[in-house]
Structure 1
């Protein structure tokens, strides 16, 4: 281990002690015996930390891996923090898990540790989606909650999403404070693993009805669903939790013609039919899209393993199933909710929508068009949830979304909810079909009114310690030598969310950015194009976002304008994405 720093070697030696079980010690020793220095370094060079999605990593032995001890330590730290924050009251938490390998085992482990700390646990008896965990935290008036999932990451990953008493994921100061509590645990002996059965209540299937009925109460146009109950819907759960609740939700809303992608309907942590279980990926949507083409579906939907993200394909003007991106899906939902409420004269002065800083400005253009206030947050739906909680009782949240396929209509939970979104996408399709329009037709109408936005995301994967350092250097280089032009277009403004400052290049003027510090850079061109760079908080990636805009004067011009914008995006990205 000559090339491994001393601090990392100390962590490795600690994991060889008798504090750890024999199987764990044997696995660490095998890595040493096989001289697997890169794996040892990546497994032990740091402690797992909370990012935009909580605790997330590759499963295996080590302080930087998802395993019994890192999860136990995180749970003990969270338990200690909850006790300090709520000293004079009985503490309750909710725990759920998805279909990933070890998720159920990890979920029971989390319940054991909480119960051993005298905390009452509401544990889902079977796998259920992330939004249902958020709903359970609020329903049972818990002080916290934990969801075991790595969302849409590859199969070798698992994760741990921690929730606060509002049903939202941990945000400042609680996220950092929990890390402090976790880091204060110096020994495995401080982790209470011994289950106290009396402190655990199982949540059974009857809870599904509470969640479904509450969502059904949000329906805007039930008459449209009744008129279009035979709407052809294809749905895939991509081997995840969605299969437990999305078909129930669609049936309860009145849809009678739902076709499942059967080969992806069985929960399976190996995700055997896809490369990545991520509805953002065209490959992951391919089976659902193919089935949709075969039966001439009106909408094709697929959710990720923990059912908080949804992908969508709709019929284009040629009658082909066309995938929509997260910006397009979110814009359609916002337009549907706001236009319907405007039509029903139920919009209120204190209504608002929320989006993240890397999400299309089309959403804010739509809200402005209806005179509805909008808020912007940092990347991560937990920040949208934070705005909802902060404004609760003062202003009225309607709908929000982010480009990474996360949406929420109504305020039943404080996280993105693909189950809720599936129901509203289906209702939206039914409503517009009653008017003789497909969702693609409506999207073109939106472009004609507010401008044709085209966006692209490029992600570069940089694994391990070396990758993390490379990503850090890439961001440092962009700050030290920001581009003056992108795609031949002059950069007008630079927004540095780490420095919380916006710089206008022409006159060197500065304004402050009223958001928490975050490692994000944005470059705005004289054309109004927005190009963003940020390291992912949940994956070993650096992400580059590009959004460009042009007027769409006629629906027939869609393909021509789209090709023109695609070329513009290509040229811009070539100047900023250096692999």
Structure 2
């Protein structure tokens, strides 16, 4: 029997209304039906929110294309079946569930816990909001089959997400995501028992892991603190913002564990608030625009260093007051250089007799190559992975299986993994590392800016410019990248230079098609993904430029870094070169005017 589009839409809407238990959501859909808003109904019901980058993330609201109770129940039912069929002894190993302070996060967590308990599976669910890294940490600590974190991290207030960790403590990667999606589609009809969240706290299968995890996590911070006396006696005043998220209580504990005096808190952003009333975007990666209140608070309290977490506390931003009185907000790449240096220093102080050739640091392919430059000189190993901590975490697991010591990993999007207790980005432990590094450097009369300058003098200037353009037309995005792949009218003929031949391209790696002209067989060694656009160009003067699409937002991102040799220290000249090249890449490759791209708001 063949369906018309209208019949399929009606059937899907009726199915959703029949299965849905949320009266408010049902009223929204019935109103759209009443006013005959077919376009909105098609958008909500004909395309389903799919399991992708470590799970689901999307706008909250009714329908199959948004995050709501029914979609969460269907996701939980599919995930349970997949785990039962894939991992041995799931019922005893259990799962750990955390949630942030967004609208519906606790509700989504409780619906998920209900489904696992109904299937006889032990559930460790936090009794209050927690940082995302506490789920990754908890998976390993309790040897769970999986972890689930309900969060949309730094996304706008209307969004929420469902992030899944595998039994190795790492965000899921392919093929798990695709297989989970298949199981979800096979288990769409909600069981009546899936809605009764009242069973959770009466069940013998429910456990609250909070106290145990708090103790273990902060014991680790205490054990990894190098200079507790220096920390306690430092004259540096730190200002901290939780960005209306979960971080305040946990950062308070972390500072105490590392023997610091209490920080100055940005009171207006201290407590969780799902409306994020004081920031346009609750994302410290946006720089000064997201740190206005932090800067005001710091200046009022004569504080010289700002530490900022995003709402689920897995990212860290840092700003320092310069001698001139204005503020420098470190980029993720600059913080990566600083924390990388600190983690190497810490390892060598703690383990002076250990072989440095067994030590590894990692970064994503769009992040600074500074760790690679450090590795060449210092003798440790550097590994590059695809973008995202799921790939770095997976690589860490593989390295540790072979007896390697992984001491640091980072991505330019202010994500840092300090040590290997949490195999994901962790804004709490990273903040403590930055604070202790600052206190240690202060005893030598150095600031974080001074140390960064020393690093660049020793290993070479690594100057970056990263940004993005909005594009809501997927076909237009595809055509931009296809033009670059067929630059001379046939496949694999990419641009060979910019600025009229002034800067030659010597390397092209396309992780959408798998092409890499630097390999003898022209095949890329990193995994490829045909569903994501990503091309990297390497120039003869050391510039590396990557153009890629975002997995969660309608953006075309570009990442550029001029990796200069240590002999080239003229920052003004290097910046001029970088600016000239970036402008040419944007105009020649992305052609924003021709493609009607929308500029990032300044």
| TM-score, normalization by structure 1 | 0.92
- Name the structure 2 match of 1:423: 432
Q: Distance in 2 between matches of 1:114 and 1:163?
A: 15
- Name the structure 1 match of 2:149: 147
CA displacement 1:456-485 (0-9 Å, x = unmatched): 22223345xxx3444344333333334333
2:183 to 173, 181, 184: 181
In structure 2, the CA distance between the partners of 1:498 and 1:9, relative to structure 1 (3 Å rule), is farther
Structure 2 unaligned regions, length at least 5:
488-493, 598-602
CA displacement 1:255-276 (0-9 Å, x = unmatched): 1151111111121011000010
1:530 to 544, 552, 561: 544
Tell me the secondary structure at the aligned position of residue 409 of structure 2.
Answer: strand
- The answer to whether residue 303 in structure 2 is matched with residue 297 in structure 1 is yes
Measure how far apart 1:554 and its partner are: 9.0
Measure how far apart 1:223 and its partner are: 4.6
- Name the structure 2 match of 1:405: 414
1:116 to 115, 118, 129: 118
In structure 2, the CA distance between the partners of 1:477 and 1:9, relative to structure 1 (3 Å rule), is farther
2:469 to 445, 460, 466: 460
- Name the structure 1 match of 2:558: 544
Tell me the secondary structure at the aligned position of residue 194 of structure 2.
Answer: coil
State whether residues 95 and 122 of structure 1, in contact with CA within 8 Å, keep that contact through their aligned partners in structure 2.
Answer: yes
CA displacement 1:129-162 (0-9 Å, x = unmatched): 0011111111121111100001111111100101
State whether residues 29 and 62 of structure 2, in contact with CA within 8 Å, keep that contact through their aligned partners in structure 1.
Answer: yes
Tell me the secondary structure at the aligned position of residue 178 of structure 1.
Answer: helix
State whether residues 452 and 552 of structure 1, in contact with CA within 8 Å, keep that contact through their aligned partners in structure 2.
Answer: yes
- The answer to whether residue 313 in structure 2 is matched with residue 307 in structure 1 is yes
State the aligned residue count: 569
Tell me the secondary structure at the aligned position of residue 314 of structure 2.
Answer: coil
State whether residues 455 and 546 of structure 1, in contact with CA within 8 Å, keep that contact through their aligned partners in structure 2.
Answer: yes
Q: Distance in 2 between matches of 1:564 and 1:233?
A: 36
Q: Distance in 2 between matches of 1:470 and 1:181?
A: 33
Q: Distance in 2 between matches of 1:378 and 1:443?
A: 26
State whether residues 238 and 263 of structure 2, in contact with CA within 8 Å, keep that contact through their aligned partners in structure 1.
Answer: yes
- The answer to whether residue 359 in structure 2 is matched with residue 351 in structure 1 is yes
1:379 to 370, 375, 387: 387
1:170 to 172, 177, 183: 172
Measure how far apart 1:547 and its partner are: 1.5
State whether residues 471 and 541 of structure 1, in contact with CA within 8 Å, keep that contact through their aligned partners in structure 2.
Answer: no
Q: Distance in 2 between matches of 1:88 and 1:207?
A: 22
- Name the structure 2 match of 1:391: 399
- Name the structure 2 match of 1:64: 65
Tell me the secondary structure at the aligned position of residue 174 of structure 2.
Answer: coil
CA displacement 1:491-526 (0-9 Å, x = unmatched): 22210112222025xxx9643222222332111122
CA displacement 1:69-124 (0-9 Å, x = unmatched): 11111111111111112344524011111111111111112111211221111111
Tell me the secondary structure at the aligned position of residue 428 of structure 1.
Answer: helix
- Name the structure 2 match of 1:41: 42
Measure how far apart 1:285 and its partner are: 1.7
- Name the structure 1 match of 2:460: 451
Tell me the secondary structure at the aligned position of residue 188 of structure 1.
Answer: coil
State whether residues 53 and 551 of structure 2, in contact with CA within 8 Å, keep that contact through their aligned partners in structure 1.
Answer: yes
In structure 2, the CA distance between the partners of 1:40 and 1:450, relative to structure 1 (3 Å rule), is farther
State whether residues 252 and 262 of structure 2, in contact with CA within 8 Å, keep that contact through their aligned partners in structure 1.
Answer: no
Tell me the secondary structure at the aligned position of residue 435 of structure 1.
Answer: coil
Q: Distance in 2 between matches of 1:563 and 1:248?
A: 44
State whether residues 229 and 259 of structure 2, in contact with CA within 8 Å, keep that contact through their aligned partners in structure 1.
Answer: no
Measure how far apart 1:212 and its partner are: 1.0
- The answer to whether residue 587 in structure 2 is matched with residue 574 in structure 1 is yes
In structure 2, the CA distance between the partners of 1:299 and 1:192, relative to structure 1 (3 Å rule), is same
- Name the structure 1 match of 2:371: 363
- Name the structure 2 match of 1:247: 252
| TM-score, normalization by structure 2 | 0.88
Q: Distance in 1 between matches of 2:273 and 2:499?
A: 44
- The answer to whether residue 210 in structure 2 is matched with residue 208 in structure 1 is no
- Name the structure 2 match of 1:478: 484
State whether residues 53 and 538 of structure 1, in contact with CA within 8 Å, keep that contact through their aligned partners in structure 2.
Answer: no
Q: Distance in 1 between matches of 2:345 and 2:323?
A: 23
- Name the structure 2 match of 1:273: 278
- Name the structure 2 match of 1:491: 505
- The answer to whether residue 106 in structure 2 is matched with residue 94 in structure 1 is no
Measure how far apart 1:370 and its partner are: 1.2
- Name the structure 1 match of 2:442: 433
In structure 2, the CA distance between the partners of 1:190 and 1:47, relative to structure 1 (3 Å rule), is farther
State whether residues 54 and 165 of structure 2, in contact with CA within 8 Å, keep that contact through their aligned partners in structure 1.
Answer: no
State whether residues 123 and 206 of structure 2, in contact with CA within 8 Å, keep that contact through their aligned partners in structure 1.
Answer: yes
In structure 2, the CA distance between the partners of 1:249 and 1:529, relative to structure 1 (3 Å rule), is same
In structure 2, the CA distance between the partners of 1:353 and 1:30, relative to structure 1 (3 Å rule), is same
In structure 2, the CA distance between the partners of 1:19 and 1:318, relative to structure 1 (3 Å rule), is closer
Q: Distance in 2 between matches of 1:549 and 1:340?
A: 26
Structure 1 unaligned regions, length at least 5:
none
Tell me the secondary structure at the aligned position of residue 456 of structure 1.
Answer: strand
In structure 2, the CA distance between the partners of 1:166 and 1:405, relative to structure 1 (3 Å rule), is same
- Name the structure 2 match of 1:237: 242
In structure 2, the CA distance between the partners of 1:468 and 1:64, relative to structure 1 (3 Å rule), is farther
Q: Distance in 2 between matches of 1:252 and 1:76?
A: 40
- Name the structure 2 match of 1:264: 269
Tell me the C-alpha RMSD between the 2 structures.
2.5
